[in-house]
Amino acid sequence: MTLEQELQKLIVEALQLEDVTPESIDLDGELFGSGLGLDSIDVLELATAIERKYAVKLTQETPEVRAAFRSVNTLAAFVRTHRKP
């Protein structure tokens, strides 16, 4: 399973998205707003789940962290860059 696939699954499970399957989440699609439709509460829940699973700090409100939540692919790139080996 790729990191992108793991993140798709984590998004569905952590946010309890009942009408969404991991495979249906577009890797380059927007996660918030007009895309998947997530909101700021979802960001906090997802950031916590990613921190637990990958030991990556996502709680700082920086432009880099905000940009990481644009899509599954940008989130995967952020995790790859910042996770501890």
Whole-number pLDDT of residue 12: 97
Q: Indicate which CATH number applies to the domain containing 36.
A: 1.10.1200.10
Domain that holds residue 76: 3-82
What does pTM read for this prediction?
Answer: 0.91
Whole-number pLDDT of residue 29: 94
- Cα first-last separation, the chain: 18
Number of domains in the chain: 1
What's the sign of the alpha-carbon dihedral 35, 36, 41, 43?
Answer: negative
d(CA 72, CA 26): 8
Residue 84 has pLDDT above 80, yes or no: no
The model's pLDDT over 13-60, given as tens digits with 9 standing for 90+, comes to: 999 999 999 999 999 999 987 788 888 899 899 999 999 999 998 877
Residue 7 has pLDDT above 80, yes or no: yes
